[in-house]
Chain A
């Protein structure tokens, strides 16, 4: 509201004074965004710190100061908070370690298959990209059904093709990761593929022509032209995919609900359980900060790598 009325007054005020002076105008444009930015981005960070240092009890109405108690809990082996926080943080890290290389390599492979013209190229691009537009709950329900212990399509196909007995994917520790990882690849591969396709389109064809004149094999062209030329995109894809993987939440919530026995529970799911299900807001806020710091260090490292790469490239 303030925006629509504010600028005309300042522009008339500015007209008689041609010499440069500080005008209010730009600040009025910034104001609406800035107000909401402070309210919902800057303030919650401080408020979260405050919550994590107090014992937040919605029922009693008082919030006594407890200092670092909730942080100490996270680092004191034996408390449920410490046990589950580190277990689920490891789960999330495990998921990231497994899924990122698959998502990067498979996306590059798909992009290479689709880069040169081929019959049905538009169709294939659409097929590989489309799953990504589904919401995580649709994708999750679908893959839970695909890997259903008894009559899921995966077990049915194993039965039809190899007469193999059904595997209880969803209720076996370790194996329960398979539907989550496979579903995630199906869901997000198309995004990375599209980034790679755009990058492949930017590689100058003259490089390949020169290489083939010099007698380079296709593998040598790939190894010494494609891979280095794609390095900036690869780094970008790795960073964004890894950051997204650390945010794992919906896939494991819907497909396995974190089970069996928390083996696929993500750290964000555990934090929300501690906060919203157990109503331990202060403890959850403290975990949010610890995990946030973990992510921040990870992100900073990635940014450093990107900056270095850009300088070299």
Chain B
């Protein structure tokens, strides 16, 4: 994909001061090249199949490079009467954005008193909500589904947004970060007459942007990639999220590989764009989150 071409620049940068070590590093480099080829092969095969005519897609011997490049698969998938990829993408975007905003807000409001205020029951409440991390999600699957039925929330965005929004890991993450902010800043603001809400808004949150962004990225990805819950709570084609919608294509186009691969390629595009934009946060967030040494 698009990431394949640009990396020559960072590569040459890191190589320059160590050129004399190259021969010893050569085997390692070659192994990495082979592994990278293996990792990229499925993606290459997905895109190349999506550009083939149906006859070429299943031709033997296989066409490693598409002979007659066509965009018909993309056109047909995008205009299919069986479902609308753009609509599903929008649904996923809306649900993930709403979930992320709500989740980060709820976690920040909860983490703030737990980190910066003294009050009876503080530790008890913290450990109580934290202990819910031990409860596997499968335990609440059926009852939450019945609740959605009772609320008449099946086939609505509500079912996709509300149930997981008061997550607890985010509270833990933000609390740890808030506790590290120096007391002096807060006390100075208090002397100036700032209310606690102003302190949260003007001091704590601006200083916590990295951890807020990390939490937001993970919340967004979690919602965007959620599969099991939307699969059962949304059956109305127009309300589906992208991951679920794409599987309905895969059931319909079970032998039309060109269209199938065109639809998966299209479904992968938003994630790839997001990855390119958020790469820094994603990898650094992942390597610091939950790993306190």
Residues of A in contact with B (beta carbons under 8 Å apart): 3, 7-8, 11, 22-23, 25-27, 29-30, 32-34, 36-37, 40-42, 44-45, 47-48, 51, 56, 58, 110, 113-114, 116-131, 133-138, 140-146, 148, 150-151, 153, 156, 159-160, 186, 191, 194-195, 197-199, 202, 232-233, 236, 247, 249-250, 254, 268, 271-272, 275-276, 281, 284-285, 288-289, 291-292, 295-296, 299-300, 303
Q: In the complex, which residues of chain B have a beta carbon less than 8 angstroms from the beta carbon of A144?
A: 250
Q: Are A292 and B139 in contact (CB under 8 A)?
A: yes
Give Cα A141–Cα B11 distance, bound, in whole angstroms: 33
Q: Does B293 contact A (CB under 8 A)?
A: yes
CB closest chain-A residue, reference B9: A122
B32 with A199: CB separation less than 8 A: no
| Distance of A28 Cα from B159 Cα, bound (Å) | 26
**Cβ of B208: which chain A residues have Cβ within 8 Å of it?**
none
Find chain B residues with CB under 8 A from A33 CB: 106-107, 109-110, 166, 171
Closest A residue by C-beta to B133: A299
* Interface SS of chain A: helix
The answer to whether the Cβ of B188 comes within 8 Å of any Cβ in the partner chain is: no
By beta carbon, the residue of chain B nearest A160 is B61
Report yes or no: A121 in contact with B227, Cβ–Cβ below 8 A: no
**Number of A-B residue pairs having CB atoms within 8 Å of each other in the complex:** 287
A142 near B264 with CB under 8 A, answer yes
Partner of B60, one of A120, A151, A284: A151
Which of A138, A151, A288 is close to B243, meaning CB atoms less than 8 Å apart? A138
Tell me if B182 counts as interface (CB < 8 A to partner A): no
Return A193 CB to nearest CB of chain B, in Å.
10
Which residues of the partner chain A approach B66 to less than 8 Å between Cβ atoms? none
- For window 8-31 of B, CB contacts with A under 8 Å fall at 8, 10-12, 14-15, 18, 22, 25, 28-29, 31
Taking CB atoms and an 8 Å cut-off, the chain B residues in 251-293 that contact chain A are 257, 260-261, 264, 267-268, 271-272, 274-275, 279, 282-283, 286-288, 290-291, 293
* A33-B109, A133-B275 known; A127 vs B40 contact (CB < 8 Å): yes
Cβ of B42 under 8 Å from chain A: yes
26 contacts between A and B (CB under 8 A): A7-B197, A11-B196, A11-B197, A22-B120, A26-B113, A27-B119, A30-B114, A30-B125, A36-B166, A48-B142, A118-B14, A118-B28, A129-B282, A131-B43, A133-B221, A135-B227, A136-B225, A137-B250, A140-B247, A142-B264, A145-B46, A202-B293, A233-B291, A268-B138, A281-B142, A295-B138
Kindly report which residue of chain B lies nearest to residue A122, judged by CB atoms. Answer: B10
> Which of A42, A51, A144, A288 has the most B CB atoms < 10 Å from its CB?
A288
The distance in angstroms between the C-alpha atoms of A127 and B41, with both chains bound, is 11
Minimal beta-carbon separation of A244 from chain B (angstroms): 12
Q: Which single residue of chain B is at the shortest CB-CB distance from A41?
A: B132
List of B residues within 8 angstroms of A30 by Cβ:
109-110, 113-114, 125
B29 touches A118 (CB 8 A): yes
| B283 near A125: Cβ-Cβ < 8 Å | yes
Minimal beta-carbon separation of A243 from chain B (angstroms): 9
A58 close to B228 (CB less than 8 A): no
Chain A residues lying within 8 Å of B272, measured Cβ to Cβ, are: 130, 133
| A36 and B165 in contact, given A113-B31, A142-B264, A198-B291 (Cβ under 8 angstroms) | yes
Interface residues of B (CB under 8 A from A): 3, 7-8, 10-12, 14-15, 18, 22, 25, 28-29, 31-32, 35-36, 39-43, 45-46, 49, 57-58, 60-62, 106-107, 109-110, 112-114, 117, 119-120, 122, 125, 129, 132, 134-147, 149, 162-166, 168, 171, 195-197, 221, 224-225, 227-228, 232, 242-244, 246-247, 250, 257, 260-261, 264, 267-268, 271-272, 274-275, 279, 282-283, 286-288, 290-291, 293
Residue contact A121 to B139, C-beta cutoff 8 Å: no
Q: Are A153 and B42 in contact (CB under 8 A)?
A: yes
Q: Are B142 and A118 in contact (CB under 8 A)?
A: no
Q: Which chain A residues border B57 with CB–CB below 8 Å?
A: 151
